[in-house]
Structure 1
Amino acid sequence: MDLDDLCFHVNSKISKIKKTLQLRHIGQDPSLNNVLSKVTYEMHLLCELLNKVETEVQRQETVAKSLKELQATVERDFKEASHLGDNIPPHLPKKCPNSNSVPGEAPPVDVKVVVQEPAKKPVKEKHIKEMELITVQEFANVPAYMKNRLTYEQINHFIEDLNKAVVGKYKIMHQPLKTLNNVARKQLGRFKEEETQDTKGQFFIVEQDIKEFTQVKVDKRFHGMLSILRHCHRIRELRRKGIVRYLIC
């Protein structure tokens, strides 16, 4: 530090001491009392305002943090929903649109009064019992040695194929004999020969039905999938006279 810097430093200290001495006696001047009171009041208001600003800033920071968390949650849910939308299992049932309706067009309203003939009583269609699809939880509980390399989707496709055989067989059995062609009549004869006292009131198929109504190959993989269906209580086997009957549970 040179001499000029030292002089500047000393003069600055002397100036501050003079101002302090002047302010020390300002409260004793009656003419300045009102000014000091106003300054004190304004300082008090300023402190309150600063406290409110600080509180609001803290609140806004909390809101901003919550909004960021909400944004992250929405983005995660959107990704999951998009993934589900792009990977809908093909075996899920889909709503069949009305063939007479036009997309985006409201159904027409018929305002005419028409005297209709008495409607004939509809023929009640007989119910055909089908296997329910395997759930994800059920498939997870299947022992690994049964699954081998089979997937959840493959098992449910297999169930859908077996249901085709069930429906194909029992539609023939529920039709009047006179409406059947020669092939269907021969099939009906075989169906009745395969029935026993134990199958009365039950829905079942045999390997021949699977061959005739589906494209499923009766091989080692076929029997492996049947083991999973037995484990999940979708079918049970009944062996009589050299024929294995797969009863729908």
Structure 2
Amino acid sequence: MVNAMASSSLEDLCLYISLRISNIKKCIILRDLGKHDSCKRFLHKICNEGILVHELLQAMEIQVKKQEELKKSLKEIQKSAERAQKEAWHLLEHMPRYLPKPLQVCNVEPTVKHKEETKAVEPKCEKKPAKGRAIKEVALITTEEFENVPAYMKGRITYDQINAVVEEINKAVVDKYKILYQPLKSMSAPVRNLYHRFIEEETRDTNGVFFIVDNDIKQFTKLKLDKRFYIMLSILRHCQRVREIRSSGLVRYVIC
């Protein structure tokens, strides 16, 4: 058994030495190939191929660096987009209840004379400013303006409540002046009575301004003219949304 083990170790050692000798011979052969004219052409071609491979590796390295920079830039854009998305969702979830509305305009077409008769045309209301008479409305109170209102004046009144009153006042203003801009012949008897009341309430001081009175608020809105309502009117005066003209025992709320 000892002889077998010794034989195995000797064979392995011989194989190892033979492999090394073979490698040495290959190196000597490859070294001497350059001396043969028949091999120089192949060696030159191999050299050129090596140069091309080297240039290709350099170009690939440049592209890899560009891709890494692009990846870094895309990550920054992604982070910026994610921040913008979060801000957009925050704005969407906290959208103000009251936003400014486009100015409402009522166009009254001129009367058309035909066969010595005048044909009354119903007024057409449009949202875009165009030819016709614009109805001025109260601008909504901003959060900054509401915060600057003195605490003693606001009491427990909230931002939403004050702008809800603004919308109701605007409804009264629009409904009133739609009637005033309507041809008289097209009015029903109740509407004609309102028209004459509107005319009687005008004075020299109201020339060229838009205003309503308490009766208009009762007529066109569901607001209660209680103490709380008049406190809100004082806030609107403070924010320069309305002003008052008093004469003949009547208070006129002028739209600023």
Q: Please give the range of the TM-score, normalised by the shorter of the 2 chains.
A: 0.5 to 0.7
SS in 2 for 1:247: strand
Asked if the contact 1:131/1:234 (under 8 Å) is kept, the reply is no
Cα distance change, pair 91–45 in 1 and its aligned pair in 2 (3 A): closer
Q: What TM-score do you get using the length of structure 2 for normalisation? A: 0.59
Q: In the TM superposition, what whole-angstrom CA distance separates every residue of 1:170-208 from its partner, at most 9, and x where no partner exists?
A: 3444553894525852x4565455444322332211223
**Which residue does 2:172 correspond to in 1?**
165
2:132 maps to 1:130: no
Q: Which amino acid is 2:243 matched to? A: R
Q: Secondary structure at the match of 1:28?
A: coil
For 1:241 and 1:13, locate their aligned partners in 2 and report how far apart those are by CA, in whole Å. Answer: 125
Give the conservation status (yes or no) of the 8 Å contact 2:172–2:216. Answer: yes
Instruction: Specify the SS of the correspondent of 1:158.
Output: helix
* Aligned CA distance change for structure 1 residues 36 and 197 (closer, same or farther; 3 Å): same
- Residue 215 of structure 1: which of 208, 211, 222 is its match? 222
Give the Cα separation in 1 of the matches to 2:39 and 2:119: 108
**Matched residues, number:** 220
The aligned counterpart of 1:42 is 49
Is contact 1:204-1:246 (8 Å) kept?
Answer: yes
Higher strand proportion: 2
Question: Counterparts of 1:208 and 1:14 in 2: how far apart (Å)?
Answer: 119
In the alignment, structure 1 residue 204 sits paired with structure 2 residue 248: no
Q: Within 1, Cα distance between the matches of 2:79 and 2:30?
A: 58
Cα contact 2:120–2:185 (8 A) shared by 1: no
Match of 2:129 in 1: none
- Alpha-carbon shift at residue 53 of structure 1 (Å): 2.6
Q: Which one of the candidate residues 235, 242, 245 is aligned to 2:242?
A: 235
Report the Cα distance in structure 1 between the residues aligned to 2:43 and 2:63, rounded to whole angstroms.
Answer: 30
Q: Which has the higher contact order (CA 8 A, sep 6+)?
A: 1
Q: Quote how far apart the aligned CAs of 1:90 are.
A: 7.3
- Structure 2 CA distance for aligned equivalents of residues 38 and 197 of structure 1: 106
Q: CA deviation at 1:42?
A: 1.0
1:210-235 per-residue CA deviation (whole Å, 9 max, x = no partner) reads 12210112345434443443344331
Any conservation in 2 of the 1:131–1:163 contact (CA below 8 Å)? Answer: yes
Share of identical aligned residues, percent?
42
SS at match of 2:133: coil
TM score, norm. by length of structure 1: 0.60
Gap regions ≥5 residues in structure 2:
1-8, 103-113, 124-131
CA contact (8 A) 1:173 1:188 kept: yes
Note the aligned Cα RMSD (angstroms): 4.8
- Identify if the C-alpha distance between structure 1 residues 121 and 211 changes in structure 2 by more than 3 Å, giving closer, same or farther: closer
SS of 1:218's equivalent in the other structure is coil
